[in-house]
């Protein structure tokens, strides 16, 4: 990932950045468990150049000894500066059994032995074995732009047909698991996560979004309005949902104070109140204690998010 952002085989990072700036082109790359995604934005007149640059990043990255060492240093520095959070502790735990989660500890160990030749072999493997998809937003009323895009994309190397499969990683959790770690700060970072087997359907996506919106934002039972506004337990409290393969997660998260260094007072009362609050508000959701207005607000928020989506 780091090397993908360091230019191309034919252009140094400075040369590549200058070329993008001169043509008002933005290109960003991201890598995750589902693969590599590269995104570009430009004016219509520069679309051919943009696609060409994107293709070069994917097929001919600048994997030099210098960039390899720079990338290693960046990752090692990021790992040294990382701070434990409730989420990171959860990920470390999940990574023991779920191949779609990555342990930072394992990454640190891997950095000690990885070679530039292994990085090159990985890149070649990706080029020769990947499937792919291309999605484009084009200006209305300019069919020639679409034609230009098709012509340029036809120059790409052939890839395997895209076959969307959801990884079967869900495992039932028979009893609660509590993970704790002490930190010398004035806040407790608490995250309570529920895991469930997830089937990716339109109905489930809609229900999941509305459920989370109500749990977060309901005037009657929302975490924000109750734990923050009424009970003053935290500045930051929210819930969110996430899918990792066929494993779904609903997480409630809060940062609540535990001590006041100015007066030397230490209390964990807010920790218990926060956890009790999660349980109470989730039960209120299960018992449908929200209003019709809450449900309509959640629907409107979801519609607005969908209408505002571009990319």
pTM given for the model: 0.83
231-266 pLDDT, tens digit per residue, is 999 889 999 999 999 999 999 999 998 876 666 677
List 252's β-bridge partners, or say none. 192, 239
**pLDDT tens digits in sequence order for the chain, 311 residues long:** 999 999 999 999 999 999 999 999 999 999 877 789 999 999 999 999 999 999 999 999 999 999 999 999 999 999 999 999 999 999 999 999 999 998 999 999 999 999 999 999 999 998 888 888 888 888 888 889 989 999 999 888 888 888 878 899 999 888 999 999 998 888 899 999 999 999 999 999 999 999 999 999 999 899 999 999 999 998 899 999 999 999 999 999 999 988 766 666 778 899 999 999 999 999 999 999 999 999 999 999 999 999 887 65
Which CB contacts under 8 angstroms, 24+ apart, belong to 17-24? 19/53, 20/53, 23/49, 23/50
Q: Are 298 and 235 in contact (CB under 8 A)?
A: no
For residue 253, what is the enclosing H or E element? strand 247-257
DSSP for residue 158: P
Contacts of 257 (CB under 8 A, 6+ apart): 186, 187, 188, 234, 270
Confidence (pLDDT) at 263: 60
Q: How far apart are CA 148 and CA 42, in angstroms?
A: 13
Q: What is the pLDDT of residues 188-230, one digit of tens each?
A: 999 999 999 999 999 999 999 999 999 999 998 999 999 999 9
Task: To the nearest 10°, report the CA torsion of 293, 299, 304, 310.
Answer: 160
pLDDT at residue 156, rounded to an integer: 87
Residue closest to 311 by CA, chosen among 15, 11, 39: 39
For residues 108 and 52, the answer to whether their CB atoms sit within 8 Å is no
- Which pLDDT does position 310 carry in this prediction? 65
Q: Is the dihedral of CA 193, 198, 201, 204 positive or negative?
A: negative
The answer to whether 257 touches 186, Cβ cutoff 8 Å, is yes
What pLDDT is attached to residue 80?
Answer: 92
* β-sheet bridge partners, residue 239: 252
User: What is the pLDDT, as a whole number, of residue 264?
Assistant: 65
Helix 116-129 to helix 65-81 angle, to the nearest 10 degrees?
100
Determine the Cα–Cα distance for residues 283 and 275; give it in Å rounded to an integer: 13
What's the confidence (pLDDT) of residue 49? Answer: 94
Q: What is the pLDDT of residue 16?
A: 95
- Backbone Cα Rg of the chain: 24
């Amino acid at each position: 990932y780091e090397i993908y952002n360091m230019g191309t085989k034919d252009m140094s990072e400075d040369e590549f950045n200058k070329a993008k700036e001169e043509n008002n082109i933005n290109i960003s790359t991201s890598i995750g468990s589902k693969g590599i995604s590269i995104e570009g934005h430009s004016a219509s007149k520069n679309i051919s150049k943009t696609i060409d640059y994107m293709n070069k990043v994917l097929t001919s990255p600048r994997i030099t000894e210098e960039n390899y060492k720079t990338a290693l240093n960046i990752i090692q520095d990021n790992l040294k500066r990382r701070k434990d959070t409730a989420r990171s502790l959860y990920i470390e735990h999940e990574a023991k059994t779920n191949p779609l989660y990555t342990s930072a500890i394992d990454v640190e160990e891997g950095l000690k032995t990885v070679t530039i030749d292994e990085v090159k072999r990985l890149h070649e493997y990706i080029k020769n074995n990947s499937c792919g998809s291309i999605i484009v937003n084009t200006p209305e009323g300019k069919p020639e732009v679409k034609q230009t895009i098709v012509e340029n994309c036809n120059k790409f190397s052939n890839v395997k047909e895209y076959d969307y499969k959801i990884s079967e990683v869900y495992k039932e959790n028979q009893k609660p698991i509590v993970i704790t770690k002490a930190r010398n700060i004035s806040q407790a970072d608490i995250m309570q996560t529920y895991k469930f087997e997830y089937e990716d359907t339109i109905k489930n996506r809609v229900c999941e979004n509305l459920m989370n919106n109500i749990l977060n934002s309901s005037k009657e039972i929302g975490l924000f309005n109750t734990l923050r506004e009424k009970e003053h337990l935290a500045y930051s409290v929210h819930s969110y949902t996430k899918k990792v393969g066929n494993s779904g997660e609903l997480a409630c998260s809060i940062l609540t104070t535990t001590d006041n260094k100015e007066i030397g007072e230490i209390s964990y009362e807010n920790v218990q109140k926060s956890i009790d609050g999660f349980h109470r508000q989730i039960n209120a959701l299960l018992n449908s204690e929200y209003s019709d207005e809450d449900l309509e607000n959640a629907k409107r928020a979801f519609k607005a998010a969908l209408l505002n989506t571009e990319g």
